[in-house]
Amino acid sequence: MKNSSPTLISSVRRAMQLLTAVAARSEPVPAKVLAREAGLPLSTAYHLLNTLVHDGYLYRIEDGYVLGEIFGRMTPPDRFQLLLSTARPLLERVRDQLGAAAYLALYQNGEVHVATVVDSPQTPRVVEWADFSATAHATAFGKSILAILDREDRMDYLSRHGLASLTARTITSPSVLMSELDKERRGPFVDQEEYQIGTVCAAKSLSTPGLTAAIAVSTRARRLPEILHSGPALTPAVKKLARTLMLFEEL
């Protein structure tokens, strides 16, 4: 008796190709990229992707597709990975547009820390010579985050870390710092050589349910006039990241 070949359903195989391509990436994958990699017409890819989304195999968010709830609902670490994968292309665009290293800073468990940095040999990052998590008062991203915290969380952070003098320009007066934070609120905030002599930084805050963050850039002090006007350049990245996270929360 001859062995018969299995019956293969082409649409299922194509859907699995798309699913495999999404699973292989750590960032959202656009439909056009998936269609190209699977060798499918874009219209066919959309039909298959819509089916996979409907049945819970995929999520569709602003920048593309990620694995869906059928593989297990997103946990905080997964959401963090989504945040990073969405943020990095935005930070790369900010870096290239402004010619400055770009940062994503987060407020988590009462602390401020840098989650990721996008730099290059031409746009080097700031050397972390003093712990970023303990010096939010002296960095643009730190002040940007402190400004949108409620007063209780802000005072809690400052009571634990104080206002260390890092340079002659660092704000060490609580009243002066509080006045600046309340006045500027969403910024952009600027670090004018307050963390490190020779370096300036600008940042815009980001707040969505469960997330308090800031996107920032740093560069040499001689570019201060330019960096002071970088707020409008940071705003699109902040808004796009916020929209993506809000869309994910609604799924």
Q: What is the pLDDT of residues 23-81, one digit of tens each?
A: 877 678 889 999 998 889 998 999 999 999 888 888 887 778 887 767 655 554 466 77
Please tell me whether residues 132 and 191 are part of one structural domain.
Answer: yes
| Stretch 227-235: mean pLDDT | 75
Among the candidates 20, 42, 71, a domain finishes at 71
Please tell me whether residues 92 and 58 are part of one structural domain.
Answer: no
**CA gyration radius, the chain:** 22
Q: Is residue 237 part of a domain?
A: yes
Please tell me whether residues 121 and 46 are part of one structural domain.
Answer: no
Q: Is residue 146 part of a domain?
A: yes
In the block, which residue shows the tokens 């930084």?
201
Burial class, 182, CB count within 10 angstroms (exposed 0-12 / middle 13-18 / buried 19+) = exposed
pTM score of the predicted model: 0.73
Confidence bin at 8 (pLDDT 50/70/90): low
Q: Quote the CA–CA distance of 232 and 105 in Å, as a whole number.
A: 18
Please tell me whether residues 148 and 236 are part of one structural domain.
Answer: yes
Among the candidates 53, 71, 89, a domain finishes at 71
Q: What is the pLDDT of residues 40-53, one digit of tens each?
A: 999 899 999 999 98
Q: Which domain holds residue 51?
A: 10-71
Please tell me whether residues 230 and 168 are part of one structural domain.
Answer: yes
Q: Is residue 213 part of a domain?
A: yes
Please tell me whether residues 57 and 137 are part of one structural domain.
Answer: no
Q: Is residue 4 part of a domain?
A: no
Confidence bin at 248 (pLDDT 50/70/90): low
Q: What is the pLDDT of residues 121-171, one digit of tens each?
A: 999 999 999 999 999 999 999 999 999 999 999 999 999 999 999 999 999
pLDDT of 114 strictly over 90 = yes
Please tell me whether residues 123 and 198 are part of one structural domain.
Answer: yes
Which of residues 100 and 184 earns the better pLDDT score?
100
Cα–Cα distances in angstroms (integers) from residue 231 to residues 64, 83, 90, 187, 198, in the given order? 27, 21, 15, 8, 20
Among the candidates 71, 87, 113, a domain finishes at 71
Count other Cβ atoms within 10 Å, centred on residue 128.
13
Confidence bin at 251 (pLDDT 50/70/90): very low
Looking at the structure of the chain, the number of domains it has is: 2
Q: Is residue 2 part of a domain?
A: no
Q: Is residue 1 part of a domain?
A: no
For all residues of the chain together, what is the average pLDDT?
Answer: 86
Please tell me whether residues 90 and 35 are part of one structural domain.
Answer: no
Please tell me whether residues 149 and 174 are part of one structural domain.
Answer: yes
pLDDT of 13 strictly over 90 = no
pLDDT for residue 241: 83
pLDDT of 22 strictly over 90 = no
Largest CA distance in the chain: 90
Which of 172, 184, 197 is closest to 228 using CA atoms?
Answer: 184
pLDDT for residue 222: 93
pLDDT for residue 117: 93
pLDDT for residue 230: 64
